[in-house]
Structure 1
Amino acid sequence: ITPYWGQNNPIYIITFVFGLPLNILAFVTFLRKFKQKVISVDILLFNLTLSDLVLLAFLPFRIVEAASEMEWRMPYFICPFSLCVHFSSNYINSFLLTAISVERYLAVGFPLRYKRLVKPLYIIVGIVCIWILSTTHCSIFYIVDHFAPEKANKTNVSICYSQFSPVQLQVLLPIRLEVFFLLFCIPFMVTTFCSISFVHIMVTQPFISRKRKLRAIGLVTVTMINFILCFMPYNVSHVVGFIQGDNPPWRMHALLFSTFNATLDPIMFYFCSVSYQKMHLEDLLYIMNKTRLGAHRDNCLELFKKDHEEPHGLDVTEDYKDHGF
């Protein structure tokens, strides 16, 4: 086992092994939910799942690369394309997490205006813009990777997206800096403001139960971990690279953490929607009945009932309609 395998592949493998089944199960659960009722936050969470599944579909290429001592031994066109997909998924996720934070804040802070103005159609239009904005920006990285004629003619190279000519860096570094501010800093600042405001409203309201408050804190905690642990290190490398005029040697290692958000996102779904939790449990119980885990079915059901004795959860479309604010 090479040192590269030992350093890089555990994160990739953990993300793939846990993230893929969790996101597939979430995908199926949301499809079931849409047959019953469509609400704004579910559309956002469903697209977050889609983005994670796209990232996970291309993650095996990174696993093979790490197992090959970070040497690219596949056809070279797969390298920039897979990274373009990886980058696009990360920035789509950052915008979707921001949209979820804004949606939660508006729902608890301005419930009447939220109910009147926030419609599923508007959410869908915003999501389309997010996918287009993120994909077009990240496709620039793919184009720049073939900017220099001497590199564009290569069909296979030893290192993937780490060696650039001075001409390429002259174009690439300013673009990365712009991506840092537009696709990371703005979503991060908006998410921070909305998350703090959301928790403040939830915690300071005396008629909101402790369980709901804890779910609100859990939602914000997972969201901020996503930004700080998964997205921030790689985006900071854009600024460092611009200042140094070259790729930081730790840049590709920082990219490792950005894959882990595909595992964290399904955890966040539980804090966003109790109705999602219930349907998710039904899917799990169905799987357990079809496997040898069926003996534990009653225990899981009992634990869920004890944790959800209240009639409503953190679904603000249900909670704050009843409380009238």
Structure 2
Amino acid sequence: MEVWTVISLVVYGITIILGLPSNALAFYVFYCRAKAHLTPNLIYMINLCLSDLVFILFLPLKMLDMGKVGWTMPEFLCALYNLIHFGTIYASICFLTAVSVGRFLGTVYPIQYQVYKKPCYSFLVSLGIWCLVGLHGMLVFVLETTGDIRLRLFAGNGSSCYSNLTEAQLALMAPVRLELSVVLFFLPLAITLFCYTACIRVLVGSHLHVRKKHRAVRVAAATLSVFVLCFGPYNVSHIVGFIKMQNVWWRSIALILTACNAFLDPLVFYFLSTAMDDGLAQVWGSLTGKCRSIQLKIASVHRK
């Protein structure tokens, strides 16, 4: 295997091992908190967990396709995989942005925001995000099946799924990739940067405890780090590829970094929500309580 193929398999494996349990735990914690008191940010975080979990559950297909095990992903499965893989990547970006907007409105306009701080609005925003991402994913299918030439983007060209595109395929996909990066990455990045910068300015000038001010800085740093480190190189490759009209060689390397987002997001959850802190304590207390109950039942049976 090529070196980067081995590295990809290792990173994907680590993502599954670390991301699956951590996101499942985060989802359970947020779900328990939502049952007690549903807030807009909890809705966005639950959707973010779902997006990362779906991304992780489909990673084994990519690992099989890359692993040179004598199995090539079928065309229909390749299309489905790419729709889910890239869709969940951009969905994560959008939900992180939605959280930042909620924090901005709650910090800068706390009184006015109370009027719109309703779960129904957050559900509509979440639905809009999924529809936006889904429509962009379906755009590839529409482009593939229209025009005089069937370019067969998902046929694989005898190699891994959706790789080694021809010049005709690149001419079709380069503008689509550019639009994806601008609408679903650079615009959300600008919004997130603006929101957290404004939040920090307000909080630094407030009378909050120093610990809470430091927490706000960690929130901004954690979220923006995920944006830039995990998603930045891959989306920059779209711009460079459009300018040069070619599949830049480091695009596949940048794609590896996007997988790291799936297990880094739970770390961001820790910074973003005090619900995570209290929720983990509640989950641990619930588990220990159930264990004690089981022990008491077993002890009572032995006494009989």
Percent identity of the aligned residues?
34
- Distance in 2 (CA, whole Å) between partners of 1:254 and 1:212 is 35
1:163 aligns with 2:164: yes
1:121-140 aligned within 5 A: 121-140=120-139
1:197-216 aligned within 5 A: 197-205=198-206, 207-216=207-216
Q: Which residue is 1:61 aligned to?
A: 61
1:120-199 aligned within 5 A: 120-144=119-143, 149=150, 151=152, 154=155, 157-199=158-200
Three-state SS of the structure 2 residue aligned to 1:246 is: coil
- Distance in 2 (CA, whole Å) between partners of 1:153 and 1:265 is 29
- Distance in 2 (CA, whole Å) between partners of 1:150 and 1:239 is 22
- Distance in 2 (CA, whole Å) between partners of 1:285 and 1:229 is 36
- Distance in 1 (CA, whole Å) between partners of 2:224 and 2:244 is 28
- Distance in 2 (CA, whole Å) between partners of 1:264 and 1:43 is 19
Instruction: State the AA in 2 paired with 1:158.
Output: S
8 A Cα contact 1:4 1:67, kept in partner: no
- Distance in 2 (CA, whole Å) between partners of 1:288 and 1:63 is 37
- Distance in 1 (CA, whole Å) between partners of 2:75 and 2:88 is 21
Question: CA-to-partner distance for each residue in 1:115-165, whole Å, 9 max, x for gaps?
Answer: 122321111111111100011102223555677537479588322212223
Which stretches in structure 2 are left out of the alignment for 5+ residues?
Answer: 292-304
Which stretches in structure 1 are left out of the alignment for 5+ residues?
Answer: 292-325
8 A Cα contact 1:81 1:142, kept in partner: no
- Distance in 1 (CA, whole Å) between partners of 2:144 and 2:266 is 33
Displacement of 1:168: 2.3
Q: Which residue is 1:237 aligned to?
A: 237
Distance 1:75 1:146, change over 3 A: farther
Displacement of 1:236: 0.7
Displacement of 1:287: 5.2
Instruction: State the AA in 2 paired with 1:139.
Output: M
Q: Which residue is 2:251 aligned to?
A: 251
- Distance in 2 (CA, whole Å) between partners of 1:273 and 1:153 is 40
Q: Which residue is 1:276 aligned to?
A: 276
Q: Which residue is 1:50 aligned to?
A: 50
Moved more, 260-269 or 57-66: 57-66
Distance 1:113 1:63, change over 3 A: same
Displacement of 1:87: 1.0
Moved more, 162-171 or 123-132: 162-171
8 A Cα contact 2:156 2:163, kept in partner: no
Instruction: State the AA in 2 paired with 1:193.
Output: F
What RMSD over aligned residues (CA atoms) do the two structures have, in Å?
A: 2.5
Distance 1:138 1:153, change over 3 A: closer
1:37 aligns with 2:37: yes
8 A Cα contact 2:153 2:165, kept in partner: no
- Distance in 2 (CA, whole Å) between partners of 1:57 and 1:289 is 31
Three-state SS of the structure 2 residue aligned to 1:14 is: helix
Q: Which residue is 1:102 aligned to?
A: 101
Distance 1:72 1:233, change over 3 A: farther
Q: Give the count of matched residue pairs.
A: 289
